[in-house]
Structure 1
Amino acid sequence: MTLSNLNTNKFIPFSVNISDYALPSSFTFPYYYTPHPLATIAMDELQAYLEKQTEWPHDFNQMGKMFAVLVVKNSQGDIGYLASFCDEPTQGAQDNHPDFFVDAIANPCQTDDLIDKIASLRAEIAQHKNASGYLQLQHTVRQKHLESEQQISDLQQRNAKAKATRKQARRDMESKLGVSINEAQLQDFISDLGAQSSREKRALKALKQQWQVEIMTLNDALKVEQSVIDDMERQWAKLNESLTIESQKSCLFLNQAGVEKSLYDLFNYQSQSQSQDQEQRPISGSVLATNSASNTNSTPVISSTHVMNSTPIANSSEQNLPKLLQAAFSQQLTPIALGEFWWGASPYAQIRQHKNLYPVCQSKCFEILEHMLEGISTDPSPLEQTPSHNKALDIVYEDDTLVVVNKPAEFLSVSGKYISDSVQARMQARYPNATGPLIVHRLDMSTSGLLVLTLTAEANKHVQNQFIERSVEKRYTALLEGVIQQQSGVITLPMCGDLTDRPRQMVCHEQGRGAETTYQVVSSKNHRTKIHLFPKTGRTHQLRVHCAHQAGLNTPIVGDDLYGFKDSRLHLHAGYLKFVHPVSGETLEFEVAADF
């Protein structure tokens, strides 16, 4: 690809003959897909350009970017594609980018006045906070607090010593009663001691009142200064809120019918819909589904696995597919197929693989694409198919209390909204008289291996407590996409959910929960490594993240479509369990070898 053969309207013709490729009958389901061959060719061409280009100053070895291509057809029937990359929306950011990439949707110039006001007010706030008089007043208040505490403490200590002295003096005088003094003399002495105590208490009270008045006067002066700053910060917050709303209103999205909706309108509509029609718009999860009830895929609907956002996630308008569709509809181009890939180094927290394909970010794009894809036929959602259909569920162990099964890969532990077939469902059918929840723990749908179920509520609680107390011994087997040099070790990387890109997990040393995995290499062959994994904790996707992350093994599990590369299956198997029988107290051990 060269800049000279690119059209100014962003339409990029293929550089190879594509006449042998049939066009797809429907558009790519954006949240889980295998790219159409034309999208693959377009991505190859874009990657070839990225390999050789020199005009873009960005260092992809330091931080990569997400790129995408949209195969399109123009009004003359020519097939080509549009190209995009995901970047932070900043003023002037497009100036240094090759001009054949589609433009940003948001127009920051429309909010320049607000941005200037916010910056000016922020500077004014900083000026007030750093003013010498304000800083000196704060310092004086702190010093007076310290002085008052010290003086009051010193006086309290002196009073305590005086009290002890008086107490001893009274005991001494009482011992002299009837020897050298009489009762009247003793009472006079005690009265003098009481008067001394009263004077000391009054002095302490007066000192406290003196400091209270002085500090209150200083605090009043400080409050006057602080109120000015508080007023400005409230004004700044309102301007920021106005900027957010105006930015959302200025960010306009087209669909193929030419209907334009702003980011603000889309999310206001979603919020109203959530409150008015919860049944038609269920809230949980994160995929775009198709309306199978009408036997058409033309209208996207919300599936049970999408979490409705009340406000847009930052950078939503800068995601690739919205920008590509915007460019296509603006230029009267028909969208045909999508392909998206990561190019360059991975960020630390999230896991991205160079040149790997990725689906559209559901958390950021769903509400936007629901509008932009309206009326466009999309492929059926693979996420709503039942991959466990006709798969056998092997019983490894069975008694009146326990069942241990060997769950196949791509088999749900518990039923979902649209996929009812699961280990739990089959066990409920097999043991209709069982009590309690049956399921003790879960395995990811893609993970195969040993799963424990209980047939009574008491047994469930007993075995579940063993998992909670981490007394259950577990061993997983994985096949990694590379060679591991260190034969054994421990990975400790704290993890949390990526709220901007569910269901992915991320490494976070600030907010993440502790996660620990011990590993031991079993063998290496054909540039792949079989490994045993011993999780001490049970965080979501822990083993997958610990293997793939650059601070872990930096080698993804074969077939990991979230943190690595797609394959025939996720090569992760729960092969060994050891725990105590909830009734007999006998130690049980189960082992089923991985089939890879």
Structure 2
Amino acid sequence: MERPTHFIPFSTSLEGIVLPEKFTFPFFYEPHTLSRIAAKELQTYLEHQTDFDHNFGLDEHQKGPVIGKMFGVLVVQTASGELGQLWAFSGKLADQNHWPKFVPTVYDMLTEKGYFKTEERVLNALNEKIAQKETAPEGLEAQTNVTVLSNQAAKAIAEYKKLQKQNKQRRADFRTNNPNASEEVLQQLIQESQLENIRLRHLQLEWKEKIESAQATLHQWEQEIESLKEERRQRSAQLQNQLFCEYAFLNRYGVTKNLLDLFEGNPPAGAGECAAPKLLHYAFQHQLTPIAMAEFWWGQSPKSEIRKHQQFYPACTGKCAPILSHMLEGIPMEDNPFLVNESQSKTLEIVYEDAYLLVINKPESLLSTPGKNISDSVYTRIKAQYPDATGPLLVHRLDQATSGLLLIAKTQAIHKKLQYQFISRKIEKKYIALLEGIPQQHSGTIDLPLRVDLDNRPQQIVCETYGKPATTLWKVLRKNSNTVLVEFQPITGRTHQLRVHAAHSRGLNCPIKGDDLYGTKADRLHLHAATLRFWHPIEKKFMVLESPVPFD
């Protein structure tokens, strides 16, 4: 049996490397040696290739928009036992879906005579027709005519009412100055008033008819535009659904499911265009057995997400989780680490306690509150230890991976008083972190607004438009050869604030050591809530508590 076109034999010797017993868990992994070798061979190709011209932002002299790219490698085995690799990129590369070294997209919507391109031309023609209609002289003239007539009508009616008011005053003055006027004269005054009212109604009716006629012309023009827009909406929806149906993914059993099925009718934008689904689909098409997989970023970091050149990243959950759960069905896979409670044997250290509150030292990897898959948490342990305590208990939270001081209220009344201090930013927290890299300055302030990455929760991204303000004060405590110990003082309390502010290129551009979301995985996240200062609502004094840093 011939090798598939995009099957790439390893150029590196694989002697002595043991195959993994289970396939890579795609949403949290440490790349297998085979995946690292495949990634290195792909990166070598990217460094020297001349097949395409794409500006990754690595060459300051290269022209064109800078677009970093996620690449994926899939180690596969043929039926005869030969090991090889498949390469893929997410989205498009140099504005194309197909390049010789990379597996094709699951569905190529850029095919010139294909359904998408054909319908795209129809939509483009509709867009042009709508634009022409919206700027047509007769339509603009109709808009102007309605406005002009409305203004003329208002002016004419106002002037007549002014005259009518003057006449009314004249008649009133006449009656006052001529108390003995004859009945015939008085009757003439009444008839004069009645005639003016009739003339006003006729004037209003005359202008109303003129305006309604102009509005009818305008409405016809607007309806023609709306009809074209409705046709565009319907065609766009049909095209979108057709694309969702065309994106159908294979699994090892030969079963296909399209995006509409996988996302229950509501796929996110870009679903199916990531590297991982492309790789697996091609493997199953050509009877190749998946062995291990990894994805890495190549190029300059984007403005919002945190992506570092050559760094490995897990598959995104929002776009890929439903697809990969189908595609990997029946394949023995590494254990899901999100289902493992690594803190089961770790204890809570009480740093301070009185009748009203307590401060504990949370170990890293223990949840603050119960999670979707793991119930063990600071909250559940405190609730069990203090069954008579009332209220929400936890005044604030720490990330699961962060260790350090956590403030807990024993009653709802105390919780309310302490939480008010957090909301009004009267509680002072200081964190110690070990960063990978050396910041350019010794201290400063980071202001980068944050919001959740909708396609990859719980990751946060920097977003100037929809992000919430996030401010962090920082200073260097000690420099090492390639790491630095810093103190963070968050002014706001956004999710993952310190982790993003440390790792982002517009922040310190130095990820916290062990940050598996925004940096590189290590034995732990080297971030510790070391100092907590608050006003005791009963003792009426400031409390300053400290916890020793569990890392250097």
Same fold (TM over 0.5): yes
CA distance in 1, matches of 2:212, 2:405: 69
**How far 1:153 sits from its partner (Å)?**
6.9
Q: CA RMSD in A?
A: 3.2
Q: Which sits farther off after the overlay, 117-126 or 426-435? A: 117-126
1:515-564 Cα distance to aligned partner (Å, 9 max, x none): 22222333322232322222222221122222222222222222222122
Q: Which runs of 5+ in 1 are unaligned?
A: 1-5, 272-309
- Secondary structure of 1:392 counterpart: coil
For residues 214 and 590 of structure 1, do their structure 2 counterparts lie closer, same or farther at Cα, with a shift above 3 Å needed? farther
- Counterpart check, 1:501 vs 2:502: no
Match in the other structure for 2:243? 247
Cα contact 1:166–1:193 (8 A) shared by 2: no
Match in the other structure for 1:93? 96
**How far 1:448 sits from its partner (Å)?**
1.4
- Counterpart check, 1:532 vs 2:487: yes
For residues 514 and 17 of structure 1, do their structure 2 counterparts lie closer, same or farther at Cα, with a shift above 3 Å needed? same
CA distance in 2, matches of 1:27, 1:83: 17
Cα contact 1:477–1:594 (8 A) shared by 2: yes
Match in the other structure for 2:146? 141
Of the three residues 223, 228, 232, the one matched with 1:227 is: 223
Match in the other structure for 1:329? 284
- Secondary structure of 1:41 counterpart: helix
Match in the other structure for 1:127? 132
Of the three residues 53, 62, 68, the one matched with 1:64 is: 68
- Counterpart check, 1:492 vs 2:495: no
The TM-score normalised by the length of structure 2 is 0.88
CA distance in 2, matches of 1:580, 1:205: 74
Of the three residues 79, 88, 92, the one matched with 1:75 is: 79
1:114-157 Cα distance to aligned partner (Å, 9 max, x none): 3332222222222212222112222333444455566667778x
Match in the other structure for 2:411? 456
- Secondary structure of 1:264 counterpart: helix
Match in the other structure for 1:594? 549
Match in the other structure for 1:260? 256
Cα contact 1:9–1:331 (8 A) shared by 2: no
Match in the other structure for 1:42? 38
**How far 1:94 sits from its partner (Å)?**
2.9
Of the three residues 553, 561, 584, the one matched with 2:516 is: 561
Cα contact 1:446–1:569 (8 A) shared by 2: yes
1:327-380 Cα distance to aligned partner (Å, 9 max, x none): 101111000001110000121121111111100111101211122111111111
**How far 1:480 sits from its partner (Å)?**
2.2
CA distance in 1, matches of 2:301, 2:288: 33
Cα contact 2:511–2:519 (8 A) shared by 1: yes
Cα contact 2:54–2:93 (8 A) shared by 1: no
**How far 1:208 sits from its partner (Å)?**
5.4
**How far 1:198 sits from its partner (Å)?**
8.8
Cα contact 1:439–1:452 (8 A) shared by 2: yes
Cα contact 1:448–1:572 (8 A) shared by 2: yes
Aligned length: 537
Of the three residues 292, 305, 313, the one matched with 1:358 is: 313
For residues 155 and 555 of structure 1, do their structure 2 counterparts lie closer, same or farther at Cα, with a shift above 3 Å needed? farther
Of the three residues 120, 133, 137, the one matched with 1:115 is: 120
- Secondary structure of 2:36 counterpart: helix
Within 5 Å, give how 1:187-336 maps onto structure 2.
209-267=205-263, 271=264, 310-336=265-291
Cα contact 1:89–1:315 (8 A) shared by 2: no
Of the three residues 362, 384, 400, the one matched with 2:355 is: 400
For residues 162 and 552 of structure 1, do their structure 2 counterparts lie closer, same or farther at Cα, with a shift above 3 Å needed? farther
For residues 460 and 147 of structure 1, do their structure 2 counterparts lie closer, same or farther at Cα, with a shift above 3 Å needed? farther
Of the three residues 321, 324, 329, the one matched with 1:369 is: 324
- Counterpart check, 1:477 vs 2:432: yes
CA distance in 1, matches of 2:495, 2:207: 56
- Secondary structure of 2:312 counterpart: coil
Within 5 Å, give how 1:440-455 maps onto structure 2.
440-455=395-410
For residues 60 and 146 of structure 1, do their structure 2 counterparts lie closer, same or farther at Cα, with a shift above 3 Å needed? farther
Percent same amino acid among aligned pairs?
42
CA distance in 2, matches of 1:200, 1:528: 91
For residues 493 and 160 of structure 1, do their structure 2 counterparts lie closer, same or farther at Cα, with a shift above 3 Å needed? farther
Match in the other structure for 2:63? none
For residues 533 and 456 of structure 1, do their structure 2 counterparts lie closer, same or farther at Cα, with a shift above 3 Å needed? same
Match in the other structure for 1:431? 386
